[in-house]
Amino acid sequence: MPLQCERWFVSAIDPEIAGQLASDLPREDFVRIVRTFEDDLGRLARLLESAVAAGDEDGYRRAAHSLAGAAAAVGARRLEQVARIAMDHRNTTDPRLLAPQVRLEAEAALAELAALAEHPPGSR
């Protein structure tokens, strides 16, 4: 039987994906994966912001693409959505306006990932 995340506990991370990961993996593997995603999301968000500051549109889109993929893998749906908007070459939103939204969603996802690593679903 899959473990379920408490719905009030997570909002930036899809509770179904986190619950599935927690139920499919030994606790130490789940925690290691969550910690890896914490590192990846933080690093990619910083890359995106650096590209915006440097006016590097290609770097901005590459960082957004990588961020969207990492976010999708861990179920950070809101972060994935805003990163996909940022990576879309048809999007005309100024990156300086979109990058703060990416940062806010990354911070929310990172906070929930840290909490999940401390208290994986079903570990209470």
Domain edges within the chain? 15-116
Q: For domain 15-116, is the CATH number 1.20.120?
A: yes
At 21, the pLDDT band (50, 70, 90 cuts) reads confident
Q: Confirm if 95 and 103 have CB atoms less than 8 A apart.
A: no
54-101 pLDDT, tens digit each: 999 999 999 999 999 989 888 889 999 999 999 999 999 999 999 999
Q: Show the tokens assigned to 48.
A: 């995106």
**pTM of the shown model:** 0.80
E strand residue ranges, 1-124 = none
Rounded CA-CA distance 94/86 in Å is 9
pLDDT confidence of residue 123: 58
- Mean pLDDT (whole number) for 97-116: 87
Reported as half-sphere exposure (CB side, CA atoms, 13 A), residue 56 has a value of 13
